[in-house]
Structures are given as structure tokens and as C-alpha cells.
Amino acid sequence: MPSFMLTTNVAVADSAKFNAKASKLMAQITGKPEKFVCVSVRADTPMSFGGSADPCGYVVLVNLGGFKDNKAICGHVFTLLERELGLAKDRVYVEINAPNGADYGWNGSTFA
């Protein structure tokens, strides 16, 4: 159940295109089928980073079983955000979570 959740104060001109790219990235970095990837984007959200309302973002990545290389994954995410939304790497935090299957539900039950 890989998930990519972005909150940002910038507009996302083509949300379908961005969501598709984020979804493919999550499938690639987790090795899980894209049909299980969930992408959520909250754009144009009032927020600040370092006391400034300049363009910024906060990303939460979730994957049962964790990720293999957090530094490399962050690099891929920062590149996506910079290319697609113009978000500078020093204006974004990325939170990486690897919950237990018992902590997440889907299809009427949990993953454990």
C-alpha cells in the first residue's frame, strides 16, 4: 500500500499528470504494483517553511515493509517536485514511514 502524500502552497497546473508521475515513481521505488499506489496532493494550501510563505512542500511516503534506500528515494522525490512543480529542494521536507501491516486497513480488514 505505497502512498505519496504532498501538501504544498503552489498550484498544480495539471494534477492528473503530476499524480500519474508520482504514482509511477512510488511503484518503481517500492517494487509494488501501481494498482496499489495511492497519491494525494493538497495544492494551494496556506503554509510556510522557515518563516517564509515562499513555495514549499511537505511529503509523506508510506510503504508497508519500508524502503530500501531512503537517501536515494528522497533524491527521486526531490527531483520530481523540482521538475514538475518548481519546488526547491531546501524548501521541502520528506517524511518516510514504514508501518506494520496491522496498522493499516484495506478491503475490509488490515494487512496483517
Location of C-alpha cell 533524491:
75
At 74, the amino acid letter reads C
CATH 3.30.429.10 applies to domain 3-110: yes
CA dist 102 and 28 (Å) reads 24
- For 23-68, the pLDDT digits (tens) are 999 999 999 999 999 999 999 999 999 999 999 999 999 999 888 9
Domain positions in the chain are 3-110
Average pLDDT, the chain: 95
User: Is 2 designated active site?
Assistant: yes
CA dist 81 and 55 (Å) reads 11
Cα Rg of the chain (Å, integer): 14
**Model-level pTM?**
0.92
Q: Residue 20 above 90 pLDDT? A: yes
98 near 64, Cβ under 8 Å? yes
Catalytic one of 2, 33, 46, 99: 2
16 near 22, Cβ under 8 Å? no
